[in-house]
Amino acid sequence: MAHDLTGAEVYLNPATHGQWGYAYLPEVFLPLAMSLGLPAGAADVLLRDNPLRLLATGGAR
């Protein structure tokens, strides 16, 4: 998953872009995805396991 806090697209929707910051994933995206059927185990992989694996390998290159 990627998270763009400020991107050039802010002008497209100024009411929401830049309003949530890092809280967007757990407070907006995750509840919506789970309400649409994302299993809890998949959420753990996306938000915990994958970032931990990336950090364990020395980060993005």
Section 31-46 average pLDDT: 92
Q: Does 30 reside within a domain?
A: yes
Q: Does 28 reside within a domain?
A: yes
Domains contained in the chain, number: 1
Q: Does 18 reside within a domain?
A: yes
What is the pLDDT of the chain when averaged over all its residues? 79
Q: Does 3 reside within a domain?
A: no
Section 37-41 average pLDDT: 93
* Three-state SS at 36: coil
Q: pLDDT tens across 3-24, in order?
A: 666 666 667 766 666 677 778 8
Q: pLDDT tens across 41-53, in order?
A: 998 898 889 888 8
Q: Does 26 reside within a domain?
A: yes
pLDDT number for residue 57: 79
**With the C-alpha atoms ordered 1, 25, 23, 9, is the resulting torsion angle positive or negative?**
positive
Section 26-46 average pLDDT: 91
Range of the domain at 18: 8-56
Cα–Cα distance, 39 to 34 (Å, whole number)? 6
Measure CA 37 to chain center: 17
- Sole residue written with tokens 């830049």: 18
